[in-house]
Amino acid sequence: MEELLKLWQSMGIANLEWGQALMMAVGCGLIYLAIAKKFEPLLLVPIGFGALLSNIPVAGIGGPDGMIGQIYAVGVETGIFPLLIFMGVGALTDFGALIARPSTLLLGAAAQFGIFATLIGAVALNFLPGFDFTLQDASAIAIIGGADGPTAIFLASRLAPDLLGAIAVAAYSYMALVPIIQPPIMRALTTKKERAVVMQQLRPVSQLERILFPFVVLLLCAMLLPSAAPLIGMLMLGNLLRECGVVERLSRAAQNEIINIVTIMLGLAVGSKLSADKFLALETLGILVLGAAAFCIGTAAGVLMGKVMYRVTGGKVNPLIGAAGVSAVPMAARVVNRVGLEEDHHNFLLMHAMGPNVAGVIGSAVAAGVLLALTGN
Amino acid sequence: MEELLKLWQSMGIANLEWGQALMMAVGCGLIYLAIAKKFEPLLLVPIGFGALLSNIPVAGIGGPDGMIGQIYAVGVETGIFPLLIFMGVGALTDFGALIARPSTLLLGAAAQFGIFATLIGAVALNFLPGFDFTLQDASAIAIIGGADGPTAIFLASRLAPDLLGAIAVAAYSYMALVPIIQPPIMRALTTKKERAVVMQQLRPVSQLERILFPFVVLLLCAMLLPSAAPLIGMLMLGNLLRECGVVERLSRAAQNEIINIVTIMLGLAVGSKLSADKFLALETLGILVLGAAAFCIGTAAGVLMGKVMYRVTGGKVNPLIGAAGVSAVPMAARVVNRVGLEEDHHNFLLMHAMGPNVAGVIGSAVAAGVLLALTGN
Amino acid sequence: MEELLKLWQSMGIANLEWGQALMMAVGCGLIYLAIAKKFEPLLLVPIGFGALLSNIPVAGIGGPDGMIGQIYAVGVETGIFPLLIFMGVGALTDFGALIARPSTLLLGAAAQFGIFATLIGAVALNFLPGFDFTLQDASAIAIIGGADGPTAIFLASRLAPDLLGAIAVAAYSYMALVPIIQPPIMRALTTKKERAVVMQQLRPVSQLERILFPFVVLLLCAMLLPSAAPLIGMLMLGNLLRECGVVERLSRAAQNEIINIVTIMLGLAVGSKLSADKFLALETLGILVLGAAAFCIGTAAGVLMGKVMYRVTGGKVNPLIGAAGVSAVPMAARVVNRVGLEEDHHNFLLMHAMGPNVAGVIGSAVAAGVLLALTGN
Amino acid sequence: MTDNTLIIESLTLMGIGMGIVFGFLLLLVGILRTMSWVAGRLLPMPPAPDPVPPVLTPSTHGSGDTAGSDDLIAVIAAAVARYRTRP
Amino acid sequence: MTDNTLIIESLTLMGIGMGIVFGFLLLLVGILRTMSWVAGRLLPMPPAPDPVPPVLTPSTHGSGDTAGSDDLIAVIAAAVARYRTRP
Amino acid sequence: MTDNTLIIESLTLMGIGMGIVFGFLLLLVGILRTMSWVAGRLLPMPPAPDPVPPVLTPSTHGSGDTAGSDDLIAVIAAAVARYRTRP
Ligand code: NA
Ligand code: NA
Ligand code: NA
């Protein structure tokens, strides 16, 4: 009898809280989006499953002694997991288009306006009842506009760990929604003539340039903005492993083993931050709205800067490629290509959009460094 | 002179204890079984080598500051290594046969009787002088009957870390002995006619069913038995990565990189628990005898449940497949196939035995959850 | 205004110390040697990049809370990373040539004279002003003469962590310089006739011998020199995984995933020890000079022992293969082959040099064990 | 705890344990059958994970997906609302 | 901190932030152009990382490399000297 | 410790060290030769690791292996017995 009572008390159903049930549904919802709608499945499947596991009553899998809680402590609190993923991104990224046409960095810079506009939006939300974001919170939310998952997780884990779950979910969800969010904005801000601009082919880039590139970026970062150095440093390390041509084994490890293993762990750990108390709060709705705004503003800023470059170069730059400045590699560049093809069936903008696209990765890492330097403690 | 003395005192041979020498021999014996007899070599080679290294005098490799001791603390005390292996098992397992014929779950349930019968046996051994098993000890020993290595290690690390070495060795040894232990029992309990039953072909299973399966199992577990949630959860995560079709990279990582790396580490860590004081005790003999009994009883219970299903279905179920319910995937299913072929050279039972076989994995994880909930603290 | 000041104070350029700038240059120099001169790129690229990252002002990436500092604490302070690499080396090494002709072990023994001669040299340097090496320091420096990266890192992390950076850099640099350092010494110490000796073909080695080999070596080490057991043990575990033929998955993991992942981490961690205070010291110059001496003396000792064997065997042993006894696998063996071919275009010594070459690995692990046992605390 | 108490405890454990294992797996049999039935009904219709082999390129959703963003917010808004208005 | 102060703070942050982002990337444009120009000048000459595909065997340096060892010591000696003689 | 003591210490260390290294490896030469001789004697006989390429499926042991389970218990029983009866 006593055993039966003990057993009943140990059952999940006897301890299930309303919020946990909802969060398990949210976890299933994220996995549904990942599988059925192909929303960034590599991250959203583990994040969703992490939410599911962490919200199982009694088990405490996401707690300090639970498996996922321990993974969180080792990999996310220390910042190591997002940095290792960033190394993998660097090893997977070809910066050739950027090296061939460095001016596209300005498009990547302009698109970061989405971040800072969102920062103001987040602070402004405090005027509404129920919101109380600190400047740290606002900074962590704003980085969603960078359209860069690992950067967002890294910054949020440093500035606002409580919001990490919502921020990561928003960041990856909107990255997946780039093909829906961007085209209308791109069409609204450009003329038919601008969209039809055919750009001149990129010059080939030598291996020496590719090898020097990581050093140049890292040294500039070290001199001006050391707070961005972990992010930029790991990105550039990955890229150097890729380009230097003498460490094929390590490059493969960064592109495959490390990034795959860490992605599973990071996803589970982030999912454990999807608890009812933190996630089913008004703040989350605010974050989702602000995130959408950030993407729209970033896209618009990129396109507008594209128009400036169109003018300045006398029509040599297709302003559409500015939209790729938000990063979301390589989806934003693909979207640019698609919108460009609507106008002219032979105008392939993909390679031209890769420049601003990877510039956006550097740009949002720089923005993250600024936010960390000025609001971190 | 002083140096020479210091040197002599630092030599292994000057410090070798009798028990260490014996345990090094045990380690070599395990490796011999693994290599020459193909006894679960993936685990027994690292376990044996871990025993060898940990029993080297003076070096203290298995101690708290030694390499293997640190691996143990990080991976086994936290429970993370067996859970990661379970994720890999999930990613390697095809649950199709179980989904096509869910009734075989009952065979997987019956075979767990071996676990609970052994529990009583372990407690009963206390009447003999020299045995003093607590209920936790008995539970950890009983799980050997689950024929599931990672589950046994996980439970033992939680309930009876001192017995971990002996339990893991017994579990893997008997899993390897399945082809010897099971056939006589199977033949003794079934008639010629029963063994010759040809089962009807399994229906195909849709991808949607395969994707829903992990959620259904996990949610039931979360509601009824959260203490089994880490095990079932990681098994189902692995299976979802495998079946969802959109995270090929992660599925490959779970099936290869992660499981291989963790297997080496886990084996070494488990081997470090093979110390003379803990292993060369009367208890170990008790554990080995109980483990053999557990396998026999589990097999018999599975086959008897198979006979029940044979009756109930009017002869459509071959009772032999009940023996596969002990798990030991996929060896038990192969044994069923082999014994079936003895009777009828064209009766291939392999696919039919896979259902109870994988059901046994779920069944013993459930049993582990019950033991953890009722005897853990 | 205040923000601008805060920002300026957070900039790298406002905090850059002279030494940091120099060390960043040293890091770039190491990467240059790795890429342009193919100096052990697998290690020197990550080490160089680790130096670069760790010397970025303000960021503190190599500090106790920084990413690389944490990697150092987990992987190098515990000794786990070099040991895992040694396991990989074991899994990549074919000891067949050594088993076929065990007498070549003596060549591997002789070459370790470089280590002990350097030990005296390091202590003697104390007579110069500005040097103050303890016996531990001297031992850690001496191990450079072993021409074995992981062994050097393991010993230095135990005996003289402050010198780790300089020792690792020296060890890998000289290993890369083997093709330049060795040939003149080899030519100077041998006659034309000796260099032209054609050795008799090696007998085939059975799988049983290959499987027994790791146990024999490990047991001898356990009995005589347990302080070398972690190194020898992991080397032999890797080799057993390779040779036993039943754990293909684990062997592949040791040879690829584990060694690649750990190499990146280890390189970064070692690089973080390249700080101006420790590296830009007179000691480093001493270490570099001593390291070069160690290689030269080791090579000479190996060749001289080769000459002894040439005499004893009545001219059956080509003394050149003694030079391979310094390890630096497989480069030293290749150098022997090349110098041999200079004399006789059909005399391929590669396989014969592999015996002393892998014997050198065991020899320097033994020497490391001696140093650890007699000077460690 | 005397050995006899232990025996009784372990007998109880066996009863409860086998009960739960059987109960759990029996329940699972039922749920899996329901699941397969539901999946069979859903499958003829086009939605949800297509049996089409996974596309290699991240899908560029057609216009039919335009509701995705709203869906996300709507679903979570509903969840938040429910959670906050709980008794 | 009141909400108004926060707004002002965040406006400052926006100004400084976009300034740095643009400044940083503009500077990078210039440096990358310089880098490409320098790389173009260096490339015709033989030294430094060859555009030849990476060799598979660890290179067995020709006699031209004999200075390698001295180089290493020389470079580091110079660095040490400079460092120790700093004001 | 003065530098002179250090020199003497390190000379001792060199003596002992080279002694052990040579002793160890000389011993190993002998043991390896014995090992090869023993392995050569064992090899003609069928038992132990077959030179046959590793089978891919976990072996389904023939009837000759039936003693495996007893072996295991017997071996460990003997070890336990010896250990417990040590002086
Ligand atoms: Na971005
Ligand atoms: Na089982
Ligand atoms: Na060596």
The pLDDT of A264-289, averaged and rounded, is: 90
Q: What is the pLDDT of chain A when averaged over all its residues?
A: 93
Amino acid F57: pLDDT: 34
pLDDT at B4: 74
Give the residue-averaged pLDDT of C72-97.
94
The predicted structure's pLDDT at residue B221: 95
Give the integer Cα–Cα distance in Å for C269 and C62.
Answer: 8
For the cut 90, the answer to whether the pLDDT of residue A8 exceeds it is: no
Give the pLDDT confidence score for residue A340 in this predicted structure. Answer: 94
Q: Residue E72 — very low, low, confident or very high, per pLDDT cuts 50/70/90?
A: low
In this complex, does chain B touch chain F, defined as having at least 3 beta-carbon pairs under 8 Å apart? yes
Distance in Å, alpha carbon of B77 to nearest chain D alpha carbon: 25
- Subunit contact A56:B250, Cβ cutoff 8 A: no
Cα of C366 from ligand 3 centre, angstroms:
9
CA distance C11 to chain E (A): 11
Report residue A356 as tokens. 């601003």
What does the pLDDT look like over B242-301, one tens digit per residue? 999 999 999 999 999 999 999 999 999 999 999 888 888 888 889 999 999 999 999 999
> How many whole angstroms from A148 Cα to the centroid of ligand 1?
5
Q: C190 and C313 in contact (C-beta within 8 Å)? A: no
Note whether C touches E: 3 CB pairs or more under 8 A: yes
Q: What ipTM describes this predicted complex?
A: 0.87
Give the distance from residue D3's alpha carbon to the nearest chain A alpha carbon, in angstroms: 18
Q: Could you tell me if residue A3 is inside a domain? A: no
Q: Does residue A85 register a pLDDT over 60?
A: yes
Residue E34 resides in a domain: yes
Cβ distance C233 to B61 less than 8 Å, yes or no, reads yes
- Can you spell out the DSSP letters for A95-157? -HHHHH-GGGHHHHHHTTHHHHHHHHHHHHHTTSTT----HHHHHHHHGGGG--HHHHHHHHH
Whole-number Å distance, alpha carbon C223 to ligand 1 midpoint, is 59
Query: CA end-to-end span of chain E, whole Å?
Result: 45
Residue C8 in domain: no
Residue E73 within a domain? no
CB contact, 8 Å: B22 with chain F? yes
Q: Which residue of A has its CA nearest to C39?
A: A246
Query: What average pLDDT score do residues C158-163 get?
Result: 93
Question: Dihedrals φ, ψ of B59, to 5°?
Answer: -60, -35
Is pLDDT at E53 greater than 70 in this prediction? Answer: no
- Full-model pTM: 0.90
Q: Under an 8 A CB cutoff, do A334 and D55 touch? A: no
Q: What is the pLDDT of residue E5?
A: 86
Confidence band of A281 (pLDDT split at 50, 70, 90):
confident
Q: Which residues of A touch C59 (CB under 8 A)?
A: 222, 226-227, 229-230
Q: Look at B225 and A67 and tell me if their CB atoms are within 8 Å.
A: no
Q: Is the pLDDT of residue E51 over 80?
A: no
Determine the structural domain holding residue A139 and report its residue range: 16-55+68-376
Yes or no: say if B217 and B226 are a contact pair by the CB < 8 Å rule.
no
CA angle A247, A253, A255 (to 5 degrees): 100
Determine, yes or no, domain membership for B5. no
Q: Out of B79, B253, B374, whose CB is closest to A6?
A: B374
Which own/partner pairs from A60-64 qualify as long-range (CB within 8 Å, at least 24 positions apart)? A61/A272, A61/B229, A61/B230, A61/B233, A62/A271, A62/A272, A62/A273, A62/A275
The DSSP element (H or E) to which E40 belongs, if any, is: helix E3-42
- The pLDDT assigned to F70 comes to 53
Read off the pLDDT of each residue in F18-38 and give the average, rounded to a whole number: 95
The percentage of chain E sitting over the pLDDT mark of 70, rounded to a whole number, equals 45
Q: What is the secondary structure of B176-188 as a DSSP string?
A: HHHHHHHHHHHHH
**Three-class DSSP category at A198:** coil
**Which band of pLDDT confidence, cut at 50, 70 and 90, is reported for residue C213?**
very high
Task: Tell me the pLDDT band of D79, cut-offs 50, 70 and 90.
Answer: low
pLDDT at B268: 96
User: Is pLDDT larger for residue A115 or for residue A374?
Assistant: A115
Tokens of C358: 């892998």
Q: Is the pLDDT of residue A330 over 90?
A: no
Q: Identify whether F25 is part of a domain.
A: yes
Q: Do chains F and A touch (3 or more CB pairs under 8 A)?
A: no
Residues C278 and C270: their CA atoms lie apart, in Å, by 13
Query: b/e per residue, F2-28, with b = 16+ CB within 10 A?
Result: eeeebeebbeebbebbbebbbebbeeb
Query: Which residue of A lies nearest to E17 if distances are taken between CA atoms?
Result: A370
Pick F32's closest partner by Cβ from C102, C115, C363. Answer: C102
Within a domain: residue E20? Answer: yes
**Which positions in chain A touch E22 (Cβ < 8 Å)?**
106, 109-110
Residues of A in contact with E16 (CB under 8 A): 370, 374
Residue A60: inside a domain: no
Question: What Cα–Cα distance (Å) separates residue B319 from each residue in A99, B113, B244, B353?
Answer: 69, 17, 33, 10
Put simply, the answer to whether B109 touches D21 (Cβ < 8 Å) is yes
Name the residues around ion ligand 1, CB cutoff 5 A. A 146-148, 327, 360, 364
Whether the pLDDT of residue E68 is over 60: the answer is: no
* pLDDT mean over C241-253: 96
Res B337 pLDDT > 60: yes
CA distance C108 to chain B (A): 22
Q: What is the mean pLDDT of residues F27-33?
A: 96
Residue position matching structure tokens 């391979």? C324
Task: Verify whether the Cβ–Cβ distance A42 to B249 is below 8 Å.
Answer: yes
Residue of C nearest to A215 (CA): C28
- Tell me the average pLDDT across A123-150: 91
**Whole-number percent of chain A with pLDDT over 70:** 99
pLDDT, tens digit, 9 for 90 and up, residues F36-79: 999 988 875 344 444 433 333 333 333 333 334 455 555 555 55
pLDDT tens digits for A238-269? 999 999 999 999 999 999 999 999 999 999 99
Q: Is the pLDDT of residue A308 over 50?
A: yes
pLDDT at A278: 81
- Quick one: pLDDT band at residue A1, thresholds 50, 70, 90? low
Name the one residue in this structure whose structure tokens are 């039809």. Answer: A196
Structure confidence by residue, pLDDT tens digits, D19-42: 999 999 999 999 999 999 999 888
Distance C367 CA to ligand 3 centre (A): 9
**Amino acid of residue A286:** G
For residues C40-61, give the mean pLDDT: 94
Confidence of residue C188 (pLDDT cuts 50, 70, 90): very high
| B244: in domain | yes
Q: Relative to the alpha carbon of C367, which ligand is closest?
A: 3
Chains in contact with D, counting 3 or more C-beta pairs less than 8 Å apart as contact: A, B
Do A368 and A154 touch, CB atoms closer than 8 A? yes
Q: Does C280 touch chain E (CB under 8 A)?
A: yes
Q: What is the mean pLDDT of residues C183-196?
A: 94
Interface of B with A (CB under 8 A): 78-80, 83, 211, 215, 218-219, 221-227, 229-230, 233-234, 237, 240-241, 244-247, 249-250, 252-254, 257-258, 373-374
Kindly state whether residue E32 falls inside one of the protein's structural domains. yes
- Whether E64 maps to a domain, the answer reads no
- pLDDT for B75: 93
Query: Which chains lie within 8 Å of chain A at 3 or more CB pairs, if any?
Result: B, C, D, E
Kindly indicate the confidence band of residue B8, based on its pLDDT and cuts at 50, 70 and 90.
Answer: confident
- Three-state SS string over chain C comes to CHHHHHHHHHCHHHHCCHHHHHHHHHHHHHHHHHHHCCCCHHHHHHHHHHHHHHCCCCCCCCCCCCHHHHHHHHHCCCCHHHHHHHHHHHHHCCCHHHHHCHHHHHHHHHCCHHHHHHHHHHHHHCCCCCCCCCHHHHHHHHHHHHCCHHHHHHHHHHHCHHHHHHHHHHHHHHHHHHHHHHHHHHHHHCCHHHHCCCCCCCCCCCHHHHHHHHHHHHHHHHHHCHHHHHHHHHHHHHHHHHHCCCCHHHHHHHHHHHHHHHHHHHHHHHHCCCCHHHHCCHHHHHHHHHHHHHHHHHHHHHHHHHHHHHHHCCCCCCHHHHHHHHCCCCHHHHHHHHHHHHHCCCCCCHHHHHHHHHHHHHHHHHHHHHHHHHHCC
* pLDDT tens column, A182-221: 999 999 999 999 999 999 999 999 999 999 999 999 999 9
3-class secondary-structure state, position E85: coil
Q: If we measure between CA atoms, which residue out of A203, A158, A178, A135 comes closest to residue A326?
A: A178
Q: Which residues of E touch A120 (CB under 8 A)?
A: 7, 10-11, 14
Reply yes or no on whether the pLDDT at B315 is more than 60: yes
- Whether residue C374 and residue B52 make contact (CB cut-off 8 A), yes or no, is no
CB C112 within 8 A of CB C265: no
The least confident of B110-114, C268-272, C343-347, E66-70 is E66-70
How confident is the prediction for chain B on average, in pLDDT?
93
| B108–D contact, CB cutoff 8 A | yes
Total domains in chain D come to 1
For A236, nearest residue in chain C (alpha carbons): C49
| Ligand 1 geometric centre to CA of A333 (Å) | 12
Apex CA A205: angle with CA A200 and CA A208, to 5°?
160
pLDDT at A94 over 80: yes
Counted domains in chain A? 1
- Compute the distance from residue B144 Cα to the ligand 2 centre, in Å: 9
The C-alpha torsion from B30 through B34 and B36 to B38, rounded to 10°, is: 150
Residue A7 in domain: no
Q: Please tell me the predicted confidence (pLDDT) of residue C50.
A: 96
* Residues around the ion ligand 3 (C-beta < 5 A): C 146-148, 327, 360, 364
Q: Do chains D and C touch (3 or more CB pairs under 8 A)?
A: no
Which pLDDT belongs to residue E50?
41
Q: Give the residue numbers spanning the domain of D20.
A: 1-45
> What residues of E are in contact with residue A108 (Cβ under 8 Å)?
25
